[in-house]
Amino acid sequence: MDNVKVGFIGAGGNASGHMEQVNGIEGAKIVAVCDVMKERADERASEYEAKAYADYRAMLDQVEMDALYVSVPPFAHTEAELIAAEKGVHLFVEKPVALTLEKALEINRAIEQAGVLSCVGYQLRYGDTVDRAKQFLQGRTIAMVTCNRWGGLPPTPWWKVMAKSGGQLVEQTTHNVDMMRCLAGEIVEVYANYALRTLTDVEGLDVPDVGAISFRFENGAIGSLTTSCALTQGGGTGDLNILVKDAVLKWAVESISADPGEYPELEAEVAPSPSIDAVFIEAVKTGDGSKIRSPYSDALRSLDVTLAANRSAREGKPVQTYYAASKG
């Protein structure tokens, strides 16, 4: 395929970044942009000489495209992916892929039946440090994984409403959960405690501002993660540590080390990450999806873990992930 024609559903902050990237890729052309806030679609579409729509059904009906980005809030993943897949359009879907696992499984079936490529926006997976970490962990027994993500409150209005975003773990800390899965394997059991302690003065907010979650991995390792959106004035932290015999692997997107000891596979300078958009567009161009590190079928397992945590917090007891339950 010489020229990849790309459509967008959602023209908000995140989509705008992807549009810039796609526009900079040779052989890719943004042909249509849809947003229920039509003025947003108009603005972005005029920038890229594309067609603007307020209704994605009309866009998918009228515009021929090879690939579609779906970058809408979690609650808004409804029919677009299903229609696009049926039309043979390859899909880039932003995380979290949906707000319920039923919807994600339905979309996954449609993708698999149609045989289209899919890529989910877990861009952390493309870092050089991920390859190094995997190399380091090869042949070592993972004992424990710990992770903390403490930050602030994103400005998008839907984010603070549990029924729209799913809360911080589902919406944002999903990146960290995804990285835990990527490096340490599938998660089979989750026990979560949530509380709303400091953001009680934020109008309309009903998401917890702190969460502490315990995990059991399929390979027998255990893990924990804390998450918070209470730091509204900036600051925060993000770390991921993996304990193996005699060493702690300290992973971050741009740095990696193990303590104590010297490990040649961790020493070399960290290479810049490729753009996830370049990987996706190249996959569409060539029909070869092997470089996509987070296809929809994998990404929905990160949703599974975070939704299991929400359920656990509601029920006050450990719960199995769907992944574990469906394996019996």
Note the residues at the interface with ligand NAD (CB under 6 A): 9-15, 34-37, 40, 56, 71-74, 76, 94-95, 121, 123, 156, 171
- Shortest Cβ 218–ligand NAD spacing (Å): 25
List the beta bridge partners of residue 4.
28
Which residue type is seen at 216? R
| CB closer to ligand NAD out of 101 and 266 | 101
By beta-carbon proximity to ligand NAD, the closer residue of 95 and 132 is 95
The C-alpha R_g of the chain, in whole angstroms, comes to 20
In 3D, which of 166, 173, 194 has the Cα closest to residue 315? 194
- Nearest to ligand NAD of 13, 27 (CB atom): 13
Nearer Cβ to ligand NAD (213/253): 253
Q: How far apart are CA 234 and CA 153, in angstroms?
A: 9
Q: Toward ligand NAD, which CB reaches closer, 164 or 216?
A: 164
Q: Give the three-class secondary structure for 4.
A: strand
Query: In 65-173, which ranges are continuous DSSP H helix?
Result: 80-86, 101-114, 128-137, 162-165, 168-171
* Least distance from ligand NAD to the Cβ atom of residue 32, Å: 12
Q: How far is the CB of 246 from ligand NAD (least distance, A)?
A: 34
| Minimum distance of ligand NAD from residue 107's CB (angstroms) | 14
Q: Between 225 and 266, whose beta carbon lies closer to ligand NAD?
A: 225
Name the minimum Å distance from CB 293 to ligand NAD: 13
* CA gap 66, 94 in Å, rounded: 17
Which residues make beta-bridge pairs with 308?
Answer: none
Residue nearest to ligand NAD (CB): 12
Q: How far apart are the first and last CA of the chain?
A: 43
272 secondary structure, DSSP code? P
Strand order in the sheet with 187-195: 255-259, 247-252, 237-244, 144-150, 222-228, 210-217, 187-195, 319-320
Which amino acid does the sequence have at 272? P
CB of 187 to ligand NAD, least distance (A): 20
**CB-nearer residue toward ligand NAD: 71 or 228:** 71
Provide the minimum distance between the beta carbon of 252 and ligand NAD in the complex, in angstroms, as a whole number. 15
